[in-house]
Amino acid sequence: MAPVGRTLLIVALLIGVYGIVASLHGARSASREWVDSGRRAIYALAGVTTVAWVILEAAFLRNDFSFNVVAAHSSTTTPTFYKLAAPWSSQEGSLLLWVWLMSLWSSLILFLTRRRVREIAPYATAILCAFGVFFTSLAAFFANPFGTTSHPPAEGAGLDPLLLHPSMMIHPPMLYSGYTLLAVPFAFAAGALITGRLRSEWISVSRRFALAAWLFLGVGIVLGARWSYTELGWGGYWAWDPVENAALMPWLCTTAFIHSIMIQEKRGMLKVWNVSLVLASGTLAILGTFLVRSGILDSIHAFGASTLGVPFVGLLAVMIIGSIGLVVSRRDRLRSEARLDSLLSREAVFLLQNLVLVAMVFVIFWITFFPLISQAITGTKVSVGPPAFRPFIVPLALVLVALAGIGPIIAWRRVTAVNLRRNFLAPVGVGIVTAVVLAVRGEAGKPFALAMFALGAFVLATVAQELWRGVGARRAMTREAAPVALLRLIRRNRRRYGGYIVHAGIAVLLIGVAASSSFQHSRDVILSPGGSVNLAGYRITYVRPTAAATAAKLSFGAVLDVTRGGRHVATLRTSRGFYPSQDPSLGVIGRFFNGEADSDVGLKAGLTRDIWTVVNPDLGPLAPYISRGDRVFAQELPPAMQRLRGLSPRQAQAALAPLWALRDRAIVDIAQRFVSHPWPVDFLLIVDPLVVWIWIGAIIVAAGGLIALWPVPTLARRRERVTARRRSPVPGATPAPGATPSPAPSPSATAASAVREPV
Amino acid sequence: MDLLIVLVVLAAVVTFVSAPLRRREPAAAGAGSELAELEAAREAKYREIRDAELDHRTGKLSDADFRAVDAALRAEAVEILHAIDTIRQR
Amino acid sequence: MPSAEARPAVGRRSGHGYRRPGKGHVGKSGRVDPSRKRAIRLTVALTAALILASALVYVSFSAGRDEVTAGQLLRIARPGSSYILAGTVLDGSVRHDGTALLFRVRDPKLKVSVPVRYTGVVPDPFRAGRGVLVTVHEAAAPGAAFIGEANSLTTKCPSKYQAAAASY
pLDDT computed for residue A46 by the predictor:
95
Q: How far is A33 from chain B (nearest CA, A)?
A: 5
Judging contacts by C-beta atoms under 8 Å, the chain B residues touching residue C4 are: none
Residues A473, B58 contacting (CB under 8 angstroms): yes
Residues of B in contact with C18 (CB under 8 A): 68-69, 72-73
Q: What pLDDT was estimated at residue A675?
A: 94
Alpha-carbon span A614 to A233, nearest angstrom: 6
* pLDDT tens column, A381-429: 788 878 889 999 999 999 999 999 999 988 777 777 777 888 899 999 9
> Cα–Cα distances in Å, from A695 out to A89, A460, C61, C131?
25, 17, 35, 32
A&C contacts, CB < 8 Å: 177
Instruction: Report the percentage of chain A scoring pLDDT > 90.
Output: 51
Band of residue C4 on the pLDDT scale cut at 50, 70, 90? very low
* Residue-averaged pLDDT of chain A: 86
pLDDT reading at A719 higher than 80: no
Q: Which residue has the higher pLDDT, A344 or A609?
A: A609
**What local confidence, expressed as pLDDT, does residue C58 receive?**
87
Which among A734, A746, A748 is the top mutation candidate for probing chain B, defined by the most B β-carbons within 10 Å of its own β-carbon?
A734
pLDDT given for residue C32 in this prediction:
63
A588 touches chain C (CB under 8 A): yes
Strand C82-89 and strand C95-97: the pairing is unpaired
Cβ within 8 Å, pair C10-B69: no
* pLDDT beyond 90 at C154: no
* Half-sphere exposure at residue A224, Cβ-oriented, CA atoms within 13 angstroms: 23
Contact C166 A656 (CB under 8 A): no
> In this complex, do C2 and B69 lie within 8 Å of one another by their Cβ atoms?
no
Positive or negative: CA dihedral A48, A54, A60, A63 = negative
Contact state of C18 with A235 under an 8 Å Cβ cutoff: no
Chains adjacent to C (≥3 CB pairs closer than 8 angstroms)? A, B
pLDDT surpasses 50 at C140: yes
> With contacts defined as CB-CB under 8 Å, which chain A residues touch C60?
366-367, 370, 374, 382, 384, 388
pLDDT in tens, A73-97: 888 878 888 888 888 888 888 889 9
- Show residues of chain A in contact with C16, CB under 8 Å: 266, 346, 411-413
**By the CB < 8 Å criterion, does B70 face chain C?**
no
pLDDT band at C123 (very low <50, low <70, confident <90, very high): confident
B47 shares contact with chain A (CB less than 8 Å) = yes
Q: Is A445 exposed, middle or buried (0-12, 13-18, 19+ CB in 10 A)?
A: exposed
Q: Is the per-residue pLDDT at A290 higher than 50?
A: yes
Q: What is the spatial order of strands in the sheet that A538-549 belongs to?
A: A532-535, A538-549, A554-564, A567-578, A597-600
From C38, which residue of chain A is nearest by alpha-carbon distance?
A: A340
pLDDT of A733 over the 60 cut: no
Residue B60 is predicted with a pLDDT of 83
Q: What is the pLDDT of residue A740?
A: 38
Contacts of C147 (CB under 8 A, 6+ apart): C116, C117, C118, C136, C137, C138, C139
Q: Do B37 and A200 touch (CB under 8 A)?
A: yes
- Kindly determine whether residue C160 and residue A304, on different chains, have CB atoms separated by under 8 Å: yes
Percent of chain B with pLDDT over 90: 24
Work out the average pLDDT over C116-142.
83
* Main-chain dihedrals φ then ψ at residue A361, nearest 5 degrees: -60, -45
Beta bridge partners of A559: A544, A573
H or E element at residue C56: helix C34-63
Q: What is the mean pLDDT of chain B?
A: 85
Are A570 and A562 a contacting pair, CB within 8 Å?
yes
Which residue in the set C34, C133, C156 is minimally distant from A304, CB to CB? C156
Picking from A241-245, A552-556, C127-131, which range would have the lowest pLDDT averaged per residue?
Answer: C127-131
- Say which amino acid occupies C165: A
pLDDT bin (cut points 50, 70, 90) of residue A284 is: very high
Confidence of residue A251 (pLDDT cuts 50, 70, 90): very high
Q: How far is CA A150 from the centre of its chain?
A: 38
Q: Report pLDDT for C111.
A: 85
Q: Which candidate from B60, B61, B81 shows the least CB-CB separation from A750?
A: B81
Quickly state the pLDDT bin for C42 (edges 50, 70, 90).
confident
Residue A731's pLDDT band (boundaries 50, 70, 90)? very low
pLDDT recorded at residue A720 = 43
Distance CA A9, CA A98 (A): 13
DSSP string, C3-34: -TTTSPPTT---GGGPPPTT--S--STTPPPH
What gap in Å lies between CA A226 and CA A171, rounded to an integer?
10
Average pLDDT over residues A664-670: 91
How far is the C-alpha of A74 from the C-alpha of A641, rounded, in Å? Answer: 27
**Between A323 and A376, whose confidence is greater?**
A323
A704/A293 Cα distance (integer angstroms): 33
Q: Kindly report, residue by residue over A578-589, the tens digit of the pLDDT.
A: 888 777 778 888
Over the stretch A145-159, which tens digit does the pLDDT of each residue have? 898 888 887 778 777
Question: Given CB atoms, is B73 within the 8 Å cutoff of chain C?
Answer: yes
Nearest by CB: C60 against A161, A343, A370:
A370
The dihedral of CA B43, B44, B49, B50: what is its sign? positive
Of residues B5, B62, B66, nearest to A4 (C-beta): B5
Supply the pLDDT for residue A124: 94
Indicate which of B3, B4, B17 best probes the interface with A, i.e. most A CBs within 10 Å of its own CB: B17
Give the pLDDT confidence score for residue A714 in this predicted structure: 57
Q: Confirm if A222 and A260 have CB atoms less than 8 A apart.
A: no
Nearest CA in chain A to B55: A411
The lowest-confidence range among B50-64, C31-45, C80-94 is: C31-45
Q: Which chains touch A (3 or more CB pairs under 8 A)?
A: B, C
Report chain C residues whose CB lies below 8 A from the CB of B45: none
ipTM over 0.95: no
Per CB-CB distance under 8 Å, the chain A contacts of B15 are none
Averaged pLDDT, A233-246:
86
| The pLDDT of residue A756 | 54
| Chain C residue with the nearest C-alpha to that of B84 | C10
Task: Say whether residue C35 is in contact with chain A using an 8 A CB cutoff.
Answer: no
Chains contacting chain B through 3 or more C-beta pairs under 8 A: A, C
- Give the mean pLDDT of A610-627: 91
Report the C-alpha gap between A237 and A228 in whole angstroms: 5
Q: With contacts defined as CB-CB under 8 Å, which chain A residues touch C45?
A: 355
Nearest CA in chain A to B69: A413
For A117-142, give the secondary structure using H, E and C: CCCCHHHHHHHHHHHHHHHHHHHHHH
User: Considering only CB atoms, which chain C residues are within 8 Å of B71?
Assistant: 1-2
For residue A385, count CB atoms less than 10 angstroms from its CB and return exposed for 0-12, middle for 13-18, buried for 19 or more.
middle
What's the pLDDT score for residue A86? 86
Which of A91-100, A614-623, A649-658, A699-708 is predicted with the least confidence, judged by mean pLDDT?
A: A649-658
Q: Are A304 and C158 an interchain contact pair (Cβ–Cβ within 8 Å)?
A: yes
Confidence of residue C12 (pLDDT cuts 50, 70, 90): very low
Other beta carbons within 10 Å of A462: 28
Task: Kindly list the residues from chain A whose CB atom is less than 8 angstroms away from the CB atom of residue C159.
Answer: 91, 303-304, 306
Q: CA-to-CA distance for A668 and A545, rounded, in angstroms?
A: 15
Largest Cα–Cα separation, chain B: 77
How confident is the model at residue A542, as a pLDDT? Answer: 96
Residues in chain C, overall count? 168
What pLDDT sits at residue A707?
95
For residue A525, the chain C residue with the least C-alpha distance is C99
DSSP per-residue letters across A132-171: HHHHHHIIIIIS-TT-B-SS--SS-----GGG-SHHHHHH
Per-residue model confidence (pLDDT) at position A372: 83
Rounded Cα distance, A221 and A750, in Å: 45
Can you list the positions of beta strands (E) in A345-431?
Answer: 382-383
CB contact under 8 A, A750 and B16: no
Give the residue-averaged pLDDT of A630-642: 84
Please give the pLDDT value at position A346: 87
Binary contact (B74, A733; C-beta < 8 A): no
Are B75 and C21 a contacting pair at CB < 8 A?
Answer: no
B64 touches chain A (CB under 8 A): no
For residue A274, what pLDDT band results from cuts at 50, 70 and 90?
very high
Mean pLDDT of A325-335: 87
Per CB-CB distance under 8 Å, the chain C contacts of B63 are none
